[in-house]
């Protein structure tokens, strides 16, 4: 139960940032929205990586920065969760 709650917290935080600060809030980004199709570019990716570093004290390694792992808030959150577990 606790594990599930932690992932949800990560999702909430990432979703808030991506929905309001990367895209226009009116775009209505959800956890499963395909961010690359929605227009995620390299500067948006940069902002997300800096946000993750600051918020979770976590540097996502280059080997994990792929289309599959970064294509939605859900996937990014799962990646953060997985990397934090390993820490």
Partner 1 sequence: MNLYELFKDTASRYPEKTAVVEGNRSVSYRDLDAVISVLAKDLEKLGAAPGQMIGLCFANSIAYIALTYALWKIDAAVVPVDVDFTEDEIRQVCDRMQLAAMISHKGESGWVEARCPFIDTPYYFRSMDVYSGLESDIHIAFVRFTSGTTGERKGVVLSHERIAERISAVNRALNITPDDNILWILPMSHHFVSTIVLFLASGAALVLAGGIWSKSILKTVNSGHVTLLYASPFHYSLLAADQSGLMMPEVRLAISTAIGLPGHIHERFSGRFGLPLAQAYGIIEIGVVCINTENPGGKPGSVGRVLPDYRVSVENAQAYSGPEGMECGELFFSGPGFFDGYFYPRIDEKSALINGWFETGDIGGRDKEGFLFLYGRKNHVINTAGMKIFPQEIEAHLNRHPSVKESCVYGRKHDRFGQTVAAMVVLNSTAEETDEETLRRFCSRSFTAYKVPSQIFFTDHIEKTATGKIIRPGEQEG
Q: Is 66 in the site for partner 1 (CB under 8 A)?
A: yes
Instruction: Say whether residue 55 binds partner 1 (CB under 8 A).
Output: no
Over the window 3 to 32, marking each residue x when it contacts partner 1 by CB under 8 A and - when it does not, the resulting string is -------------x---xxx----------
The strand ranges marked E within the chain are none
Tell me the two tokens of residue 82.
């997985």
**Using rule CB under 8 A, residue 54 touches partner 1:** yes
**How many separate helices (H) and strands (E) can be counted in the chain?**
4, 0
37 touches partner 1 (CB under 8 A)? no
**Nearer to partner 1 (CB atom), residue 3 or residue 57:** 57
Q: Which residue, 3 or 41, has its beta carbon nearer to partner 1?
A: 41
User: Cα dihedral sign for 84, 64, 4, 29?
Assistant: positive
> Which residue carries 């199709």 as its tokens?
37
């Amino acid at each position: 139960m606790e594990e599930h709650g932690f992932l949800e917290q990560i999702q909430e935080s990432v979703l808030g940032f991506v929905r309001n600060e990367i895209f226009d809030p009116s775009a209505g980004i959800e956890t499963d929205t395909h961010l690359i199709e929605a227009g995620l570019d390299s500067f948006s990716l940069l902002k997300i990586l800096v946000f993750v570093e600051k918020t979770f004290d976590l540097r996502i390694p280059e080997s994990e920065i792929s289309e599959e792992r970064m294509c939605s808030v859900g996937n990014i959150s799962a990646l953060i969760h997985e990397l934090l577990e390993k820490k």
